[in-house]
Amino acid sequence: MGSLLCFSLIAFLLVLHPCFAKKTYIVHVKHHQKPSSYSTHHDWYDAQLKSLSSSSSSSNSESLLYSYDTAYPGFAASLDSHEAELLRQSDDVVGVYEDTVYTLHTTRTPEFLGLDNQLGVWAGHTQQELNSAAQDVIIGVLDTGVWPESKSFSDVGMPDVPSRWRGECESGPDFDPKVHCNKKLIGARFFAKGYRMSSSSSFTNQPRQPESPRDQDGHGTHTASTAAGAPVGNASLLGYASGIARGMAPRARVATYKVCWPTGCFGSDILAGMDRAILDGVDVLSLSLGGGSGPYYRDTIAIGGFSAMEKGIVVSCSAGNSGPAKASLANTAPWIMTVGAGTIDRDFPAYAVLGNGKNIIGVSLYSGKGMGKKLVSLVYNTDSSSSLCLPGSLNPKDVRGKIVVCDRGTNARVEKGLVVKEAGGVGMILANTVESGEELVADSHLLPAVAVGRKLGNVIRQYVKSERNPTAVLSFGGTVVNVKPSPVVAAFSSRGPNTVTPQILKPDLIGPGVNILAAWSEAIGPTGLEKDTRRTKFNIMSGTSMSCPHISGLAALLKAAHPEWSPSAIKSALMTTAYNRDTTNSPLRDAEGDQLSTPWAHGAGHVDPHKALSPGLVYDIRPEEYIKFLCSLDYEMDHIQAIVKRPNVTCAKKFSDPGQINYPSFAVLFGKSRVVRYTRTLTNVGAAGSTYEVVIDAPPSVTVTVKPSKLVFKRVGERLRYTVTFVSKKGVSTMSKTTFGSISWNNAQNQVRSPVSYSWSQLFN
C-alpha cells in the first residue's frame, strides 16, 4: 500500500513539474523540405516526434494530435517543455508555439434586412432563383456543434447534396449520422484533441463533455441557424419575438465543425476544423470566436483563413465583444471579413415604477410569474462586489423579499439575477455603468428583472440613496417592433483601430447582433446557467457572435448570385453598399455614450443585402497582392511562408506601405510625411458603358485629391485605376484627434462608398 501511494505521489509530481507536464504545441515546419523517403507529411511529422524519444523520458506514440494538410504548414502535438525545446532546435522547424485558447463572441432580422418572402426582384434575381442557386452553396460553421433535431435544419424540399461535397457526419455517443444528418445538415464533425489534452492536464472539477458533433452549449446551433436556418413558423423564446425564424440563406447547406468545448476553443482544434472544412469543400466559413490580436503568423484563424481565401472560400469572423474600448478588435487580417454588431428594430420593453411615481423604461425577456402591482422595498449596496451582485456578495438579511439594483459588468448579466434570487431577492434592476452606456440587452432571467441604461440607472441609484424607504415594482411589456432609431452600434462591439496593421481599417462592417432569435440546444436552458431547468427550441442572444453568421449567410447569397466572384469581391460588395444612416435618416449612433458612431465602431456601415447583390463596382484582391501586403510588414520569410504555405515565395515585389493593398476602405496614417498616396483598382460588375464620378467627404484638416475624377467603364469586367492623394494641412498637430471621411464613386444607379480614417499618431487619440 505504501509503495502504491509513493508511486501515485511521484506520478502526480511528474505531471505538475513543468519539465514533464504535457501541453499541446503547434509546430510550424518547413513544409516543403519533407524528405522524399517519407510518403506523407504525417509520416515525416510522426518520425520527428519519435526521434525525440531517445532524449526524452516519455513515450511519443500518441504525441501527434493533428497533421494539418492545407490550413497550416505543420502539426499539433502533445509535448513536455523539454521535447518542445528539442523541436525548436531542429533545422526543419520554424517555431513551436503553445496552444492558444480562443473564446466565443457571445427572427426579426430577415425582415429588418429586407429578406422577407415578398421580396420581388433582387437586382435581376427573383427570390426563387436566388434560393435555388443557394442550394449549391455550403456554409461551414466552426463553433460548439449542432442540435440536429431543430426544425431549422429540416431538409424538406431540398434536392440531393451537391456531388462535389467531400464532407461527412461523424458519430458520437449521442449522435447518429444516419438519423441526425440530412440534405440540409450535410456535415457534422468534431475536433477535441486540444480540448482533451487540456482537460487531462488540468485539475478542475468540470466534467468532460461527450465527444461528438452535438451542441451542449447552444451557441453553435444559434449561429448555424442564423446563417442558413430553414423557415420555422411560430418560433419564439417563451412567447417573446414570436413569428417565423429563418436564416439569411435558408436554402443553403450547413456543415458544422465542433471546435469549442466547456473550457474554450483551442487553436489546435480550430486549425484542424478549418483544415477539414477546406478539404470538405465549403464555400463560406463562419467563425463567431476569436482571441487577442497579434502578428498574423501567430494568429490561428488568420493562417487558416488565408488558405481558405486561396481556395475561393469567404471567411467571416466576429470582431469581438470587448467594446467600447478602443483597439479591442479580434480577427483583423485583411482577407477576413471582420463583423461588428448593431441593434435591430425590435425590442422587449419592461418597466420599473418607483415609489415616487417615476416610470423607468428598460428591457427584459423574463417570462415567469409577474410581481403584481404592489410596491416592494428597493435596495442598492454601494460596496463594489455587492453593487455588481457577484456570487456570494449579497447578505440575505439585506435583500430578502426586496428588489436589488445591480451594476452591469464583471460577471454575466443572468448570473447576477441568480445571485439575487439565491439570496432571497424577488426582483432585480440591472443598471448600466459608463462602460455600457445606453445599450440595452434583454435576457431571459430566472427572476423578474429589468435592464436599464446608464442615465436611468443613475436616476434609480440616486432615488435609493436619497429616499428613506425606497420601493419599486416591475412589469413586462412583451415584444414591440419598428423601434427607432435603428440600427444603433452595440456598446459591446469591439472597436478599431487595427493595432496589427493600422493602415487597414477594421471592423469591415456591422450586422444585426442584439436580441437575435435563432435555434437553440435543448441540452441547456436559455440563460446557459446550470440551475436553469427551462428548455426551449429557440433563444434570443446578443453579441458579435450573432452578427457574424448574418454576414456569412449573406455572403452565401452573393456566392449563389455571382459564383464567379472572389471572396474579396464579395467582401467589397457588402462593404461599399453598406449604409451609414438609421431609420430616422440620421447618422448612425453609438450606444456607448449615445453619441455619433465612427468607422472605428461600424466600419463601412450596416450591411444592405439588396444593394450588395448589385454593387456596380468592386475592389478585387488577388492572393498575390496579399503576399505583397505581407511582405510590406517586414516579417521574416519563414513567417510569411507560415501564412502563404508556398515553397517559392519571395518578396521581390512588395508594397512600400501596407495601405497600398486594394482594400475597399482607407486608413490614412500621417507619420513622418504630410502626404499619403494610394492607388486603387475598381472592377466593373455592373452594366457596360457605366460612368462614375467621385464624391469626396474630407475633414477640414486634410486635403483630398482623386485622379481621375471620372471613370468610364466600356465593358463588364473592365478594371480601371485611380490615385488618391491625402495631404495633412500645415500646422496640424501630431497629437490631433483621429477624424473620418469617405470617398464614393457614384452614378444614378450606384454609390460605391469607402470610409476613410485619418490619424496623425499611432497612439490613436
For residues 571 and 663, give the distance between their C-alpha atoms in angstroms, rounded to a whole number: 10
Torsion sign (Cα): 647, 651, 657, 661 = negative
Cβ contact 31:42 at 8 Å: no
For residues 566 and 118, give the distance between their C-alpha atoms in angstroms, rounded to a whole number: 29
Q: How many angstroms separate the Cα of 9 from the Cα of each of 5, 47, 80, 200?
A: 6, 32, 19, 17
**DSSP class of 532:** -
∠ at Cα 182 (249, 316), nearest 5°? Answer: 35
For residues 517 and 525, give the distance between their C-alpha atoms in angstroms, rounded to a whole number: 15
Q: Which amino acid is at 140?
A: G
Burial class (CB in 10 A: 0-12, 13-18, 19+), 22: middle
- State how far Cα 150 lies from the chain centre: 23
Among 236, 475, 494, 545, the one annotated catalytic? 545
**For this structure, is 545 an active site residue?**
yes
Find out whether the peptide bond into 487 is cis, omega within 30 degrees of 0: yes
Among 219, 562, 602, 606, the one annotated catalytic? 219
For residues 509 and 93, give the distance between their C-alpha atoms in angstroms, rounded to a whole number: 38
Query: Phi/psi at 660 (nearest 5 deg)?
Result: -75, -10
**Residue with cell string 463560406:** 284
Cβ contact 549:122 at 8 Å: no
Among 80, 99, 143, 275, the one annotated catalytic? 143
**For this structure, is 562 an active site residue?**
no
**For this structure, is 219 an active site residue?**
yes
Start-to-end CA distance of the chain, whole Å, equals 67
SS3 state of residue 268: helix
Q: Which amino acid is at 257?
A: Y
SS3 state of residue 741: strand
Grid cell locating 381: 449596496
Cβ contact 279:70 at 8 Å: yes
Catalytic center residues: 143, 219, 545
